[in-house]
Structure 1
Amino acid sequence: MSVVVPASLLPASAAPAFRGRIGRDAASGHYAVPHRYRLHVAPADPDCLSIAVTHGLLGLDAALPLRLLPEVPDAPDGSYTALRPLYEASAHLYTGAAAAPVLGDVWTGRIVSTHVPDILRDLALRFRGDGPDLLPEEHREEIDTLAALCADGVHRAAQRAGELGLDPAADARREAAEALGTLFAALGGLDARLAGRPYVLGDAPTLADVHVWGALVQLDTVHRWHLDAAALERVASHRALWAYAQRLAAQTAFARHLDVEAVLRRHRAHCRGREAAGAAIRIVDWGAAGTGR
């Protein structure tokens, strides 16, 4: 059964967090059945891209169809009109935004989950089939730690550094330097981990690679526009990390739904930050892979 935060308790523009899970069998209500569910994603969004990559690694095209949405929602409140019926069927008198990603139940016409960590886990655990083990029992805690590192140490740190880097105020510049320090530490740790190994946790892909690769895509396609050239030169100096990013970008599961121009259009649709000198530095040729050629 889905757990929903009532729309009446949320801001008008916020989507409720649907937290239904896919169980082991029919007794759980939602269970893994071919063609019962559909994933609605806008791959230009980093969370949606992580789901699309996981879907590709598991080879789920036939069992769990993927519905691709445009990079920019088509309604003023940030909603996708195509998702509105699912939200309205899933939450009584729903008036909030209809946002992606969504794991929908075709049988009931309702939402199972919009919570990205749960969707990733359920794909890896319940829909694996003959696909790779993306969430090995012995590495689950480490994968969670790496996911947090990517979110806080890479994405949020780069975002914070870019927001404050061009502010002449001393406090802002000090905070920007601290954020860059966090970013460089995270990249350095990942670079050392990837020296001499093809994937983050060894010889096979896991959800750790989905998180790390997605963070690198955002860093080199979005965050670099707001970082100065000196910062980007240091970012680019992590050679093992960026060689890994380029290598994965050549694999179908990672490249298939990567559209760099769509990522940039989505970013520009809501970004009001100033461009910095780092915008001229591109580390990986993302456009040579996926749909962003």
Structure 2
Amino acid sequence: MPVVVPSSLLPASAAPAFRGRIGRDAASGHYAVPHRYRLHVAPADPDCLSIAVTHALLGLDDTLPLRLLPEVPDAPDGSYDVLRPLYEASAHLYRGPAAAPVLGDGWTGRIVSTHVPDILRDLALRFRGDGPDLLPEEHREETDALAALCAHGIHRAAQRAGELGLDPEPAARRQAEEARAALFAALADLDARLAGRPYVLGTDPTLADVHVWGALVQLDTVHRWHLDATVLHRVAEHRALWAYAGRLAVHPAFARHLDVAAVLRRHRAHCKGREAAGAAIGVVDWAGAAGPRP
């Protein structure tokens, strides 16, 4: 049975600034051509990390260059100075943030997309070449559902639990408990999926693993700083899930762009939340272990 995420954990969505797509052929305008496009990513950001991992799984170094940006943006709104010309060329009198990730078109000097789900799909479907099938037709709906589970049942739930966990107000405590329950339910669902198989959907890595692993990295490197020790001990009980996270942490495509120190520097540069007791309880040794801490 799929996990139902409480509506309070579903934030109002803001439309991204750019949502161009890569089509099948020249009639589409944007189509997959070697060296035409460039990906601009800051892998310390979880969305950018998911794109970098997908890029590595597909082996796109010689087809679609990857431009790596520093973990801390140049401005508080997440802007990078190097991306500002791309944004200004893509929208008249653009005044918004010049943030990563960006899929840019070298032929026009403009942005194709900043929308992470679209970029991931286009990498998997349009730039795949002879690479692995990361988005099998029969699993596309399930992959989308898992992406939503990670976004709301793990990331958003952990964020809310951390924000509200130290608030003494009864309403805040109820909301924190609801967020914790959603987090535990999501982790239990994923733990059950991974019992007895190496990847979320079977024997080979897919975009589902990119979503799940990225959410676990964020939970154990960032969100744990704002969760209490009781919550972290409950989180760590999902042994199959965290063993999976540790195995992927040494997989070349997943490990290539993972820099936990950079993730923490990015987090600390903008986070003003209070530290909780869970900060001292890391579940996975991301620097080298292939499983959860003993």
TM-score range relative to shorter protein: over 0.9
SS of the residue aligned with 2:160? helix
Question: Any stretches of 5+ residues in structure 2 without a counterpart?
Answer: 1-13, 290-294
Q: Deviations over 1:99-146 (max 9, x none)?
A: 100000011111000010000000000000111100000000000000
Q: Which residue of 1 aligns with 2:81?
A: 81
Q: How many residues align?
A: 276
Residue 142 of structure 2 aligns with an amino acid whose one-letter code is: E
Q: Tell me which residue corresponds to 1:169.
A: 169
In the alignment, does 2:204 pair up with 1:204?
yes
8 Å contact 2:76–2:270 — kept in the other structure?
Answer: no
What RMSD, in angstroms, separates the aligned Cα atoms of the two structures?
1.2
Query: In the alignment, residue 197 of structure 1 is paired with which amino acid?
Result: R
Cα displacement string for residues 193-223 of structure 1 (whole angstroms, at most 9, x for unaligned residues): 0000000000011100000000000000000
**TM-score for the superposition, normalised by structure 1:** 0.92
Q: Does structure 2 retain, via aligned residues, the 8 Å contact 1:226–1:275?
A: yes
- Counterpart of 1:164, as a letter, is L
Aligned position for 2:8: none
Which sections of structure 1, spanning at least 5 residues, go unmatched?
A: 1-13
Distance change in 2, residues 1:37/1:137 (3 Å): same
C-alpha distance in 1 between matches for 2:62 and 2:279: 40
TM-score by length of structure 2 reads 0.92
SS at 2:287's partner residue?
Answer: helix
Of 69-78 and 146-155, more deviation after overlay is shown by: 69-78
Superposition misfits of 4+ residues, deviation over 4 angstroms: none
Aligned-residue sequence identity (percent) comes to: 86
Q: Is this contact kept in 2: 1:15–1:98, CA < 8 A?
A: no
CA apart distance, 1:175: 1.1
Q: Deviations over 1:205-251 (max 9, x none)?
A: 11000000000000000000011111100000000000000000011
Distance 1:42 1:234 in 2: 31
Equivalent pair of 1:15/1:97 in contact (CA under 8 Å): no
Give distance in 2, aligned partners of 1:273 and 1:84. Answer: 29
- The 1:191/1:77 distance shift into structure 2, 3 A limit, reads closer
CA distance in 2, matches of 1:105, 1:71: 23
Question: Residues of 2 paired with 1:285 and 1:187: CA distance?
Answer: 19
Partner secondary structure for residue 146 of structure 1 = helix
After the TM superposition, which residues 241-252 of structure 1 pair with which residues of structure 2 at under 5 Å, given as runs? 241-252=241-252
Deviation (angstroms), 1:287: 2.1
Query: Which residue type is aligned with residue 284 of structure 1?
Result: V
1:74, CA displacement in angstroms? Answer: 1.0
